[in-house]
Amino acid sequence: MSPATLCRDCLADLSGRPAASRCPACRSPRLLSHPELEDLAIAHLDADAFYASVEKRDDPSLADLPVIVGGGARGVVTTACYIARLYGVRSAMPMFRARKLCPDAVVIPPNFPKYVAVSRGIRERLERLTPLVEPLSLDEAFLDLSGTTRLHGAPPAHLLARLQQEIERDFGITVSIGLSHARYLAKIASDADKPRGFTLIGRAETLDYLAPQKLAQLPGIGPVTARTLAADGLVTVSDARRRGRDALIRAHGELGLRLHRLSHGEDARPITPDRALKSISHETTFEEDIADADILRRHLWRLAEKVSARAKARGLAGHTVTLKLKRANHRTLTRRHTLAVPTQLADTLYRQVLPLLARELPQGPFRLIGTGLADLLPDSGDPPGDLADPAAARRAEAERAADRIRARFGAGAIGLGRALD
pLDDT at 382: 62
pLDDT-based confidence at residue 66 (cuts at 50, 70, 90): very high
3 state DSSP class of 365: coil
User: What is the DSSP secondary structure assignment for residue 13, as one 8-state letter?
Assistant: B
Distances (CA, A) of 365 to 17, 171, 228, 369: 62, 42, 21, 11
pLDDT at 119: 92
329-370 confidence digits (pLDDT tens): 878 899 999 988 889 999 999 999 999 999 999 998 998 999
Beta bridge partners of 13: 6
Torsion from C-alpha of 153, 155, 160, 163, nearest 10 degrees: -10
Sequence-distant (≥ 6) Cβ neighbours of residue 292 within 8 angstroms = none
Distances (CA, A) of 12 to 8, 26, 35, 40, 209: 8, 9, 17, 19, 27
pLDDT-based confidence at residue 273 (cuts at 50, 70, 90): confident
Least confident of 99-103, 245-249, 359-363, 390-394: 390-394
* Position 417 pLDDT exceeds 60: no
Q: Which of 411, 412, 419 is nearest to 115 (CA)?
A: 411
Average pLDDT over the chain, rounded to whole? 88
Pairing of strands 332-343, 316-327: antiparallel
pTM of structure = 0.75
Least confident of 46-50, 162-166, 321-325, 401-405: 401-405
What's the average model confidence in pLDDT over 156-174? 96
What's the average model confidence in pLDDT over 103-124? 91
* Position 1 pLDDT exceeds 70: no
The share of the chain scoring above pLDDT 90, in percent, equals 63
* Catalytic center residues: 140
**Identity of the amino acid at 382:** D
Phi, psi (degrees; rounded to nearest 5) at 322: -130, 150
pLDDT at 420: 40
pLDDT at 275: 56
Pairing of strands 77-80, 332-343: unpaired
Question: Which residue stretches of 59-132 are H helix?
Answer: 82-85, 95-101, 112-129
264 CB neighbour count, 10 Å cutoff:
15
Q: Which domains does the chain have, with CATH numbers?
A: 1-31 (no CATH), 32-47+115-206 (3.30.70.270), 50-112 (3.40.1170.60), 220-263 (no CATH), 277-419 (3.30.1490.100)
| Angle value at C-alpha 350, between 348 and 353, nearest 5 degrees | 105
pLDDT at 311: 87
